[in-house]
Structure 1
Amino acid sequence: MKKSILTLAFIVSCACSAGAEQWQILGTRPMGMGGAFVAVAQGPMAQYWNPGGLAMAFSDTVSGVELPITAGVEITGDVMKNASAIGDMASKFTEINAAQKNGSATNASQISAFVKTITLLDDMNDSGKGAMFEVAGGSNFKLSKVAVSVNNFTTIGLNPFVDVNNIGLGAVTVTGTTSGGITMSGVTATSTTDSGYNSARDTIATAITKLGGLSAISNLICGTSTGITVQNSDITNETTLANALVNQAITNNLSVAQVTDAANQLNTYATDAKPIIENAVAGNSYTNNQSNLTVDMVSFVEIAFGYGKFMKFLDGLSIGGNLKMINGNIGHDKFKFMQQSDTEDAFKTDMDTKSSWAPAIDLGFLWNVNKKYPKLPMNPKVGFVIRNINSPKFDQPDSVGGTYKLNRQARLGFALQPAKFWNLALDIDATKNKTAVNGFDSQQLAFGTEINIINRKYFNIPLRAGICKNMAEESSKMAYTLGTGVNACYMHFDVAGAISSDSTTMDDKEIHTKVLVSAVLGILW
């Protein structure tokens, strides 16, 4: 259970810091075209993508209503591979915790799991590791050059924090009383009579040397470099300690194969774990470890009123804007997974939330270049939009304090129409946007195309395809998008999806690091 819930937590969550919002894709037509729509900006969705498009007159999308819904997951920094591996160690956490609290001995398998886990946990502190889950949707209405919409944009996320100081396996202090602590007292430190375990014993001894030798393990368990020898005078070097760990594993009914696997795992992670163990504060108990998954939520409901108008000083240029009232609901919670016995507790606790309102302004420009230069081919258009110009602020929960600043975003777009049934679009974020994963930024480059197969006002089947790339992160790979729909008698239903070319590992399975899906039901006239 702990393994599966840990995995789920990483999929659906990631921690949000102030201003941690990337540009969300709202609508199937933009998503199908790779996320490029700023210079297309038609119909009710123009209010979100570029309110300058509200002034543009398109024979088949002058007015209407559209109900979009979009959901997506993005996993960054290969964090799922770490989370899945840590989930595999969940049962060992319980065994180690019980041994420490009860003052009993540990074995080769438990020590191996512990060393592997602290190595993976330390790796999870690297910048840019996390996951995002985003949902956007609402109702968008346009009548002539005026638009009204109510949309929700929600991000749930998680950032791991790893405490690599409190990793000692010694005595536990609770309410001023010290008790327990793993002890090797009474454990046989000579070779077992079953020679099948000897190879594993030698591998464990080698790994102990890599970890810093007997004194390092003694510091980890006892808080002093000679503590293990004081507990058990027969343990005097790496080999006798390895014997003791193997003998305790046999006492716990572990087979030769199981001990061998544990020995190999311990040896694999020993070198990386050595500096972690050396830097840890001696005597600080693992049961006091503060490692946690910080789960945060930001949910913004935007009530927007938009208007677009053509400008006389430049033929073909329209400018539009939105006046918005935004309700920001900010939530925060932490789950200390090294202390709490069941990871389900992360979902049982009540999230600390706070709601507040703030005004905001959007401004968009759309230039139909052919109005000024009619001889240019393919009907070029250029668009530029700035969302949340005033960077509104919202109250954060009492457990966090301060305010959450919703930073402004800017996006530039270009569009061509090689034929009446064929559109091309290109967008790029003009701002580098922070995301819900600390240290992971977003600056999307999007390109897409749309071909209308039948292209009649009363009936049409559009086909859309596109690509997008996060230019802010070198490790980010290309994502591919597809979309289609049916338009009949002014009504339309469209679907679209996006999937990354990159993958990560979860439960020994390869999964895509980014997946988005979208659907829209609308009436246009």
Structure 2
Amino acid sequence: MNMLKRFMVVLAVCGVCQSAYGLEFQAVGNGALGVGGAGVARTSGAMAPYWNPAGLAFADKTVSVSVAGGVGLMPGKKLTEDLSTVSDAYNAWNKNKTSSSAELSLISSINGISNTDNLLATADGAVGIQIKHFGLGVFGTFEGGATPTITPISTSLPLPNESTLKTDLAQSRVNPRGILLLEAPLSYGHDLDLGDYGHLGLGLTLKYLYGETTSATQSIYNSSSDSILSSSDLTKQLSKNRSGKSNFGIDLGALWKPGKMVPVPLSVGLVGKNLNAPSFTDKSGNKIPVDPQVRAGIAISPLTWLDLTGDIDVIKNTTVVSGLRSQQLGGGAEFKPVSSLKLRVGGYTDLAQSTGAVTAGFSVGIPWIYIDIDGAYGLGSVKYDGKSYPSEAKVEFSLNFAY
């Protein structure tokens, strides 16, 4: 429970990037997280306005509604471990301020922080509605992170006295930043009959966007509490710096089903999101564009009880963390042992960062009402607020109605 609370603190108020955002393609609803975050070629219902509006061309229900939400935290890239190491070293020096070895250890822990180390957190919430070949709803995604700005401390003798050392520590900072993007889409999917070449779905989404950014800078050393900034303290003051603006976005999608050309059901999809690069202005007057995203996907059903699917980001996405890019490759399998149960397994990797996670999930219910629960678990471990946690953790839930 304490970890969940810390997740929500980080997710609620992380800050703003000063150049550009390219929010990651989050696995919103539809059981996508359980199959490695893949949904471009397998989504035709209420979540299609988010994943690929072309899926609406093949909607198999007259009406469907999905309510989804999820959170994720990536304390990897060492920033949380950095702060934990500095805090331990500071406490050891604070107990014996005459020890030169303790002071050197503290200075080394600060100097050992790389300006490329970071923390990344995500969250989403959505209500999607599909009516025949139209889709609408409200989809919200959040991405927040933090990077350090380190001022090295000299290890030359004589070492700094207590007052000077604390002043030097205060020169190093952590810069949380983030963006909340709400989109209200109106989507349509049209089915083109290609004869012997199957069917091609084409989709268009026009959407109202509201983007809210926040920013802050915090010293690693807090003189008022005489302590080192902890991982869970990164975002406490950021709610004072929010700035919200409106804009509009354009998404285009395609989904090809080859039909009799392939002996088993097959779908190949491509979607481009925010193709007009909508921009927002932060509280300091900086223009912040949201970069376009392009993702391809494939889904195949070799057996009536087995679906295989995969997605890849065609281009690298910039992220809220300055200098950090993301290019996800993921996929998995969905098993349907009985009509009321689906089981999912998969995984994904970030080609730009060499990180990844295993995923799993399930759906349970009757055809017109069912729930999806999915999760992802990083293969590494990292310290967060002094305790060890997986290098990545995500959970996603959705409640679905179809008629």
What is the CA deviation profile of residues 437-489 of structure 1, one whole-angstrom value per residue up to 9, with x for unaligned ones?
Answer: 3333211111111112223xxxx211111111111123x2x411111121225
Identify the residue that residue 448 of structure 1 maps to in structure 2.
332
Distance 1:521 1:80, change over 3 A: same
With normalisation by structure 1, the TM-score equals 0.68
Identify the residue that residue 332 of structure 1 maps to in structure 2.
215
1:518 aligned to which of 385, 396, 399: 396
RMSD value, Cα: 2.8
What is the CA deviation profile of residues 304-346 of structure 1, one whole-angstrom value per residue up to 9, with x for unaligned ones?
Answer: 1000001256640010011011001111111113243335696
1:51 aligned to which of 25, 50, 53: 53
Post-superposition offset of 1:68: 0.5
Post-superposition offset of 1:8: 8.0
Post-superposition offset of 1:402: 1.1
Tell whether 2:279 aligns with 1:393. yes
2:293 aligned to which of 409, 419, 442: 409
Which stretches in structure 1 are left out of the alignment for 5+ residues?
97-105, 169-210, 224-282
1:483 aligned to which of 361, 371, 381: 361
2:264 aligned to which of 378, 398, 422: 378
With normalisation by structure 2, the TM-score equals 0.88
| Whole-Å separation in 1 of the counterparts to 2:299 and 2:329 | 14
Distance 1:340 1:322, change over 3 A: farther
Identify the residue that residue 87 of structure 2 maps to in structure 1.
87
Distance 1:77 1:358, change over 3 A: same
How many residues end up aligned between the 2 structures? 388
Tell whether 2:21 aligns with 1:33. no
Identify the residue that residue 158 of structure 2 maps to in structure 1.
218
Tell whether 2:64 aligns with 1:75. no
Identify the residue that residue 125 of structure 1 maps to in structure 2.
114
- After TM superposition, the structure 1 = structure 2 runs for residues 102-113 of structure 1, keeping only pairs within 5 Å, are 106-108=97-99, 111-113=100-102
Identify the residue that residue 473 of structure 1 maps to in structure 2.
353
Identify the residue that residue 176 of structure 2 maps to in structure 1.
295
Distance 1:117 1:311, change over 3 A: farther
Post-superposition offset of 1:348: 4.5
What is the CA deviation profile of residues 146-173 of structure 1, one whole-angstrom value per residue up to 9, with x for unaligned ones?
Answer: 0111011112221111122xx47xxxxx
Which stretches in structure 2 are left out of the alignment for 5+ residues?
none
Amino acid at match of 1:304: P
Amino acid at match of 2:54: G
1:309 aligned to which of 175, 181, 190: 190
Identify the residue that residue 243 of structure 2 maps to in structure 1.
354
Amino acid at match of 1:431: I
Instruction: State the secondary structure of the residue aligned to 1:217.
Output: coil
| Whole-Å separation in 1 of the counterparts to 2:17 and 2:120 | 9
- After TM superposition, the structure 1 = structure 2 runs for residues 56-205 of structure 1, keeping only pairs within 5 Å, are 56-58=58-60, 61-91=61-91, 106-108=97-99, 111-127=100-116, 129-164=117-152, 167=153
Post-superposition offset of 1:23: 1.3
| Whole-Å separation in 2 of the counterparts to 1:322 and 1:292 | 41
Post-superposition offset of 1:125: 2.5
The question of whether the paired residues in 2 share the 8 Å contact of 1:67 and 1:139 is answered with yes
The question of whether the paired residues in 1 share the 8 Å contact of 2:7 and 2:73 is answered with no
Distance 1:118 1:8, change over 3 A: farther
The question of whether the paired residues in 1 share the 8 Å contact of 2:118 and 2:321 is answered with yes
Instruction: State the secondary structure of the residue aligned to 1:319.
Output: strand
Percent of aligned pairs with the same amino acid:
24
What is the CA deviation profile of residues 257-311 of structure 1, one whole-angstrom value per residue up to 9, with x for unaligned ones?
Answer: xxxxxxxxxxxxxxxxxxxxxxxxxx89835832112122311110110000012
Distance 1:79 1:11, change over 3 A: farther
The question of whether the paired residues in 2 share the 8 Å contact of 1:10 and 1:83 is answered with no
Distance 1:9 1:361, change over 3 A: closer
Instruction: State the secondary structure of the residue aligned to 1:88.
Output: helix
Instruction: State the secondary structure of the residue aligned to 2:39.
Output: coil
| Whole-Å separation in 1 of the counterparts to 2:45 and 2:182 | 21
- Mean Cα deviation higher: 64-73 or 291-300: 291-300
Instruction: State the secondary structure of the residue aligned to 2:221.
Output: coil
| Whole-Å separation in 2 of the counterparts to 1:333 and 1:14 | 6
Instruction: State the secondary structure of the residue aligned to 2:147.
Output: strand
| Whole-Å separation in 1 of the counterparts to 2:235 and 2:280 | 25
Runs of 4+, deviation exceeding 4 Å: 7-15, 92-96, 343-346, 506-509
Q: Which has the larger radius of gyration?
A: 1
Distance 1:14 1:87, change over 3 A: farther
Post-superposition offset of 1:118: 2.9
Identify the residue that residue 341 of structure 2 maps to in structure 1.
461
What is the CA deviation profile of residues 229-262 of structure 1, one whole-angstrom value per residue up to 9, with x for unaligned ones?
Answer: xxxxxxxxxxxxxxxxxxxxxxxxxxxxxxxxxx
Post-superposition offset of 1:95: 7.4
Higher helix share: 1
